[in-house]
Chains A and B, each alone.
Chain A
Amino acid sequence: MAASHSDSAPDVGPDREDAVSLRDVRKTYYLGEPVHALDGVTLSIPRGSYTAVMGPSGSGKSTLLNLIGCLDTASEGEVFVNGTEVSELSDRDRTRVRGDEIGFVFQTFNLMPKLTAAENVALPLVFQGVSRSDRRDRAEAVLAEVGLGDRTDHRPNELSGGQRQRVAIARALVTDPAIILADEPTGNLDQETGEQIMGLFQRLHDEGHTVLMVTHERPIAEHAERVIHVLDGTIERVEEIESPRRVETDV
């Protein structure tokens, strides 16, 4: 399963520097009367940027992330991921983009309970057809990167919440995706562990990864370079953070 790189970018293509860009995207659910979860969103996420999305519950943050992550399709508008317009793709191709270009981190970790940490991290590679020994090597390398080099054979129920989230982050990193999407990654963690996870994201950003993170906690959002404020399915404003918060702990 080779990645479909967009060497022939669409003519209306977005800025080639953008990891992700959206044009006038709408997502409407019909439950009796239409619910506009997203109502005309245009934004771009430059490569290597660190962005937070904030907004009250039900404002459309998760919907936005799911559209970018190719888990869902827009009702209207265009979504470019690494230069490819994904809303017109077949289910098969969209799944491929999801596997190759997106790394997901969830609030509830979403690890496979019966697989070890290394197997969980290697899972995306399984669906890319990477050989077993390569999978193992890459999973161990990434686990070492997130500070879990000595926990590769532990199952999720043998790990703490923070460790589980690190396994999830390692899994998101293992395919070397264009963008890492995190939906409230600290939501299920205590403050101190949350800080450690933020430290990890900070390091990923420093190393050049693109990170888009949903949160409803202001202090968490302030770790990013800019904060997109969402309200009722629209972008209320985009706030540039002059000096993002730094985590001083060393992982």
Chain B
Amino acid sequence: MDAAESFRLSWRAIRSHKLRSALTVLGVVIGVGAVITFVTLGASLQADILGQVGGERTPNVYVWAGPEGQNGGPGAGAQPVFTERDLDELRALSGVSAVVPRGIVPTAAVSSGGDTVAQRQVIATSPASFDSASFAAGRPFRQGEREVVLNERAARLFETQAVVGDEVTLRLASGESVGAEVVGLLNASAGGGPFAGLDSQPLVFVPTDPFYGTTIESPETGETQRVYPTVTVIAEDFGAVAGAKTDVRAYLDDRSDAAALVPDDYAFSVRTDQDLVDQIEELLSTLTDFVTGIAVISLIVGSIGIANMMLVSVTERTREIGIMKAVGAQKRDVLQLFLLEAVMLGVFGAVAGVPVGILGAYAAAEYVGLSLVFPLEWFAIAVGVGLLVGVVAGLYPAWNAARTDPIDALRYE
């Protein structure tokens, strides 16, 4: 039997019970649509987050001490253990161009131009943490000066947006108030670095001297020194990152003050941008796999729908199968006819499922404010899956039809 006639006969069979066929196809549409939606969303989320994190890859090594076995983001649960001496020692390592400490100064509020807003903390760091390209106006603060740098969100906290040259007052948690001058404003795209997290919050940056007051006695020298929870070691170039990372870890484990200060069940984390990207990627793909797995289950349910409908269809058409066999249809012809019917249902479902899935992804992306990235190969895969679903679901019913005994079939009522 030629393919064109097979198509014609199978198509006629599908059309002869439109509603049943449509509902069966709907099952596949939902399955394929769900898979496409979740895969697209997963890919878009991944691209979005990696774009934020990995967009400007830096030759940085992030160092902190956190609870052992904790898998949080950079700086999670960090304890202040890195002393000034540790920073000097790290600076002396080969391949290191700068070491930027970062500490938290607890505050109650910040005022500017008579307007006071609550602010839980400001970030104490060194001028080296700023990249000149990230300034919308002004410059980095200088060590030892009462100067602050605000990010865009922080500048907009106040009724009249803060500008360079404004005076701000920091109300420290201790109750003390300290005045400072705004010397720089960061632009919108400048984040707070990995330690600040991914969402943009109002950030106020101050120099460690004179604002940062957390100190400890260095176990090595006995001097009282500032101590920081997180440190960024900036390598000279990307080639030096791996070496710097190894040396930093070796120093920390071996002769650092931090090693002596760190609580027993805490461990050092030494991560590069690449490590962070890898970690986020892994987390996201696990999430995407999980959700896609659920979608695949709905696809399986869809194919069970096809198998079920085909079994009913074969039983209903037993007599027709008998007639076809009596006039010379081979087993192969009957198999082909029913398999084709199942495959057509599967492919229709898949083809209709793709736009439904895209629409679903589009709606969801619109809702969460994500820009869509279409994993194009998945659309080809979806159609392939439709074919596969049709074959798998149709094989047993079609085989049943093919081996029907014509005498029994003709007697069938």
Q: Are chains A and B native binding partners rather than an unrelated pairing?
A: yes
Give the interface of A toward B (CB within 8 A): 66, 69, 71-72, 91-92, 95-96, 98-100, 104, 106, 110-114, 123-124, 126-129, 132, 171, 175
If the complex has contacts A112-B320, A114-B12, A132-B4, are A104 and B327 also in contact, measured as CB distance less than 8 A? yes
Q: How far is the CB of B376 from chain A (nearest CB, A)?
A: 38
Instruction: Give the distance in Å from the alpha carbon of A69 to the alpha carbon of B324 in the complex.
Output: 14
Closest to A96 in B: B328
Partner of A98, one of B5, B16, B328: B328
Structural contact, B406 and A127, CB atoms closer than 8 A: no
Q: Give the complex CA separation of A6 and B299 in angstroms.
A: 53
Q: Which residues of A contact B323 (CB under 8 A)?
A: 110-112, 123
Q: How far is the CB of B145 from chain A (nearest CB, A)?
A: 90
The stretch from B101-109, B181-189, B252-260, B329-337 touching chain A is: B329-337
Distance in angstroms between the alpha carbons of A95 and B405 in the assembled complex: 12
| Residues of B participating in the A interface, judged by any CB pair closer than 8 Å | 1-2, 4-5, 12-13, 16, 319-320, 322-331, 333, 406-407, 410
Q: Is the CB–CB distance between A98 and B326 below 8 Å?
A: yes
Other-chain residue from B16, B319, B327, B410 in contact with A127 (beta carbon distance below 8 A): B327
A126 with B410, Cβ < 8 A, contacts A110-B319, A114-B16 known: no
Q: List 30 A-B contacts (CB under 8 A).
A: A66-B407, A69-B326, A71-B325, A92-B331, A95-B329, A95-B330, A96-B328, A96-B330, A98-B327, A100-B328, A104-B326, A106-B410, A110-B319, A110-B322, A110-B323, A111-B323, A112-B323, A112-B324, A113-B320, A114-B13, A123-B323, A126-B1, A126-B5, A127-B1, A127-B328, A127-B329, A127-B330, A127-B333, A132-B5, A171-B327
- Lowest 6 A-B CB distances belong to which pairs? A99-B328, A124-B327, A127-B328, A127-B329, A110-B323, A71-B406
* Residue of B with least CB distance to A115: B12
Q: Which residue of A lies closest to B320 (CB)?
A: A112
Question: A91 vs B405: C-alpha distance in the bound complex, in angstroms?
Answer: 11
Known: A106-B410, A129-B2. A71 touches B324 (CB 8 A): no
How many Å from the CB of B39 to the closest CB on chain A? 40
Complex interface: chain B residues within 8 A of A127 (CB): 1, 324, 327-330, 333
Partner of B407, one of A71, A100, A112: A71
Neighbouring A residues of B322 by C-beta, 8 Å: 110
Least distance between A174 CB and chain B CB atoms (Å): 9
Name the residue among A72, A99, A127, A128 with the largest chain B CB count within 10 angstroms. A127
Q: A111, A123, A126 — which one has the most chain B CB atoms within 10 A of its CB? A: A126
Chain B contacts for A98, CB-based, 8 A: 326-328
Closest residue to B413 on the A side, CB-wise? A108
The reply to whether B328 and A128 contact each other, CB–CB distance below 8 Å, is: yes
Select from chain B the residue with minimum beta-carbon distance to A135: B5
Smallest Cβ-Cβ distance to A131: which chain B residue: B2
Q: Which of A69, A71, A72, A175 has the most chain B CB atoms closer than 10 A to its own CB?
A: A71
Contacts of A129 in B (CB 8 A): 1-2
Which chain B residues lie closer than 8 Å to A91 at the CB level?
331
Bound together, the chains give a CA A124 to CA B13 distance in angstroms of: 18
Could you say which residues of chain A place their CB within 8 Å of the CB of B327?
98-99, 104, 123-124, 127, 171
B1 & A110 in contact (Cβ 8 Å cutoff): no
A183 to B, closest residue via Cβ = B410
Across the interface, which residues of B come within 8 angstroms of A104, CB to CB? 326-327
Chain A residues with CB under 8 A of B329: 95, 99, 127
**CA A3 to CA B328, docked complex, whole Å:** 12
Inter-chain CA distance A123–B410, complex, in Å, is 16
Say how far A188's CB is from chain B's closest CB, in angstroms: 14
Q: Taking A99-B327, A123-B327, A127-B328 as given, write out 4 further A-B residue pairs in contact, using a Cβ cutoff of 8 Å, ordered by the A residue number.
A: A99-B328, A104-B326, A123-B324, A171-B327
A92 pairs with B330, CB closer than 8 A: yes
Bound together, the chains give a CA A111 to CA B13 distance in angstroms of: 15
- Complex CA distance for A111 and B2, rounded to whole angstroms: 21
Task: Tell me how far the C-beta of B125 lies from the nearest C-beta in chain A, rounded to whole angstroms.
Answer: 79
Provide the residues of chain B in CB contact with A123, threshold 8 Å. 323-324, 327
Q: How far is the CB of A74 from chain B (nearest CB, A)?
A: 14
Alpha-carbon distance A96/B12, docked complex (angstroms): 25
Bound Cα distance from A124 to B324, whole angstroms: 8
The answer for the CA separation of A72 and B405 in the assembled complex, in Å, is 9
Q: Which residues of B contact A126 (CB under 8 A)?
A: 1, 5
Cross-chain contact A95 with B407 (CB below 8 angstroms): no
Closest to A175 in B: B328
Contacts of B326 in A (CB 8 A): 69, 71, 98, 104, 110
In angstroms, Cα B407 to Cα A132, docked, is 28
Report chain B residues within 8 Å CB of A96. Answer: 328, 330
A99 to B330, CA, bound (A): 9
Residues of B within 8 A of A100 (CB): 328
Give A175 to B327 CA distance when docked, in angstroms. Answer: 9
Give bound CA distance, A95 to B404, whole Å.
13
Chain A residues with CB below 8 A from B328, complex form: 95-96, 98-100, 124, 127-128, 175
List of A residues within 8 angstroms of B2 by Cβ: 129
Shortest Cβ gap from A123 to chain B (Å): 5
Residues in A whose Cβ lies below 8 Å from that of B325: 71, 95
Query: Smallest CB–CB gap between A143 and chain B, Å?
Result: 16
In the bound complex, how far is the Cα of B5 from the Cα of A190, in angstroms?
36
